Amino acid sequence: MTTPFHARRVAGVVFDIDGTLLDNMPFHIEAFEAFTAAHGLPPLTLEMRKWMDGRRNADIFPRLFERTLTEAEVAELSHEKESAYRRLSAGRLKPLAGLMRLVDGLDATHVPIALATSAPRENVEHTLRELELASRLTVIARSDEVAHGKPEPDVFLEAARKLGVDATDCVAFEDAPMGVIAAVRAGMTPWRSRRAIQPRPSPRPIRRRRSSSAISTSCSTDRATGCWPEWRAASCSGGNSTTGC
């Protein structure tokens, strides 16, 4: 008989980066707005921005330009847009409140951490350096290193493989719907940030689960606000293939 997740210890925690470790999406939006204007593309609609959220550039750019692109073209366009993001965000990135406490709690209870991201290598290095987490979060799976990006599960499965644990024993922190779906398809239990493309609502506390001793240990330091004040997070089940929640 399969053991319910809440009866098992968490073997690993997997974080997305953009929008999850930090709220850096305004810098990405500004970089994309400059990018589309420079290439004579229509301004990004809310619908398009929602579709893009959590996806990798190799999937985004062909849709923006409405044609098939070579790997060289994708690489050149990615460099243009992502270098703009790094320039705009330099010296301006900070972790979401509560992140360091959560990471400290996971370290203290010996729960390994990995990152599963659609960001390219240069962005990952830039962001972790800005957050002063480069030496602490070293297990990284990137979507450009696997066959399929989010919402397919490849990057989360790769993160679990790098941790040496079963994906079904992992909790995944994600903000984008495509990322939540990917985590669910990998068999992980997702906690979804309610950071959204539209303006965010007022902060609400996390609904903490009894299921994860490691997570509840780190969250118990702040019973009033939960361990992630910026998040309105909830435990999601894998029963809904559309949203993952």
**Peptide bond before residue 151 is cis, with ω within 30 degrees of 0:** yes
Task: Compute CA distances 38 → 34, 58, 76, 81, whole Å.
Answer: 6, 19, 14, 10
- Which residue in the block uniquely carries the two structure tokens 């950071």? 195
CA distances from 32 to 72, 95, 138 (A): 19, 22, 28
At which residue do the structure tokens 């290193």 appear?
Answer: 145
- Catalytic residue status for 18: yes
Interacting residues of 96 by C-beta distance below 8 A, sequence separation 6+: 20, 21, 22, 23, 228, 230, 231
Per annotation, catalytic residue among 18, 53, 169, 175: 18
What separation in angstroms does the CA of 11 have from each of 21, 106, 110, 112, 162? 20, 11, 9, 7, 12
Q: Which residues sit opposite 12 in a β-bridge?
A: 170
> Which residues are known catalytic residues?
16, 18
